Amino acid sequence: MSPSCAVKPAKPTSARGGGLALARRGLRRISGPLWRLVYGFYERQLEQQVRARPMPGHIGIILDGNRRHARESGLSDPEAIYRLGAAKLDDILAWSAELGVRMVTLWVFSPDNLRRPEMEVGGIFGAVEAKMRALAADPHIQRRGVHIAAMGRRDLLPPALLEAIDAAEAATRGNDQITVTLAIGYGGREEIADAMRAFLADCAARGLSTAEAALQVTPEAIRQHLYLAGLPDPDLIIRTSGEVRLSGFMLWQSVHSELYFCDVNWPVMRRIDYLRAIRAFQRRDRRFGG
């Protein structure tokens, strides 16, 4: 079975690699019902392996590949493209709740994305707004105990989207089983710059001189002024679509995160892709810089 989501392997150059390619082509010829049987068996085996080990407490996901998927599917309407990506959030919530993952942070929109065509930016904002309004009224969200939060520069977002985010946060404020954070209008450099501004403003409010403020600069002091200071660092960060970089996602918090890059585009990420990412995390020897 050809993994579409995995840590980047070297291309096979041996006879064994050629044999794997032949086996994969053979699997593709299996009829639909038999393929579903094989696929279901594989997913169950994978889930058993994952459930046998500790889960990551906090997973960050860089949602990449919306436009690639649109090109492959012949979609051109910007909001329709990003509504597909927004719909994938339902799957992530369900999978995370089933597995006992307590926190998920999704990078939805960065300040750099504002450079994209106006219609595309509007499509992203429209899709996220619609999704936030749907989540605020979704009874499944309450039953699963989902708490929705957001972080990023609010001044970059249109009023209607801010209103929808506020409504979703308010509707789920009392829930505590799983926290889903939207990083929207978010950039890692911007977060650190904003944290330093907030830190200096706090020092000024306490009447400290520049020299005195400088003596108080510590990693913990900066951390206390991040967008969501109480949010634990992500154990695992997943990026979809085949790009192998963080692009500024949670720069401060990702120092000890395990990274996983996969080829599948975000709108068509499957449960087995999520399980594979978690399994890869569980197989790592985490030394936290040691």
The answer to whether 232 and 57 are in contact (CB under 8 A) is yes
Residues of the chain with pLDDT > 90, as a percent, come to 83
Does any domain span residue 91? yes
Token duo for residue 274: 């999520």
Q: CA 147 to CA 171: how far, in whole Å? A: 8
Q: 3-state SS of the chain: helix, strand, coil percent to 5?
A: 55, 10, 35
Does any domain span residue 214? no
Does any domain span residue 134? yes
| pTM value surpassing 0.75 | yes
Does any domain span residue 94? yes
- Beta strands 58-62 and 236-239 are parallel
User: How many domains are there within the chain?
Assistant: 1
Which tens digit of pLDDT belongs to each residue from 122-143?
Answer: 999 999 999 999 999 999 999 9
> Residue 99's domain spans which residues?
15-186+227-283
Between the two ends of the chain, the Cα-to-Cα distance in Å is: 36
Q: How many CA atoms lie within 13 A of 263 on its CB side?
A: 8
Catalytic residues: 64, 113
In Å, how far are 75, 113, 189, 224, 227 from 218, measured between CA atoms?
48, 31, 17, 10, 17
Place 33 in a pLDDT band, splitting at 50, 70 and 90. confident
User: Which of 36-50, 119-133, 178-192 has the least mean pLDDT?
Assistant: 36-50
Mean pLDDT (whole number) for 171-185: 97
Does any domain span residue 278? yes
Does any domain span residue 201? no
Residue 207 phi/psi, 5-degree rounding, is 75, 20
Q: What is the pLDDT of residue 28?
A: 55
The answer to whether 107 and 266 are in contact (CB under 8 A) is no
Q: Which CATH number do you get for residue 160?
A: 3.40.1180.10
User: Residue 215 above 90 pLDDT?
Assistant: yes
Does any domain span residue 172? yes
Does any domain span residue 138? yes
Which tens digit of pLDDT belongs to each residue from 41-99?
Answer: 999 999 999 999 999 999 999 999 999 999 999 999 988 999 999 999 999 999 999 99
Place 15 in a pLDDT band, splitting at 50, 70 and 90. very low
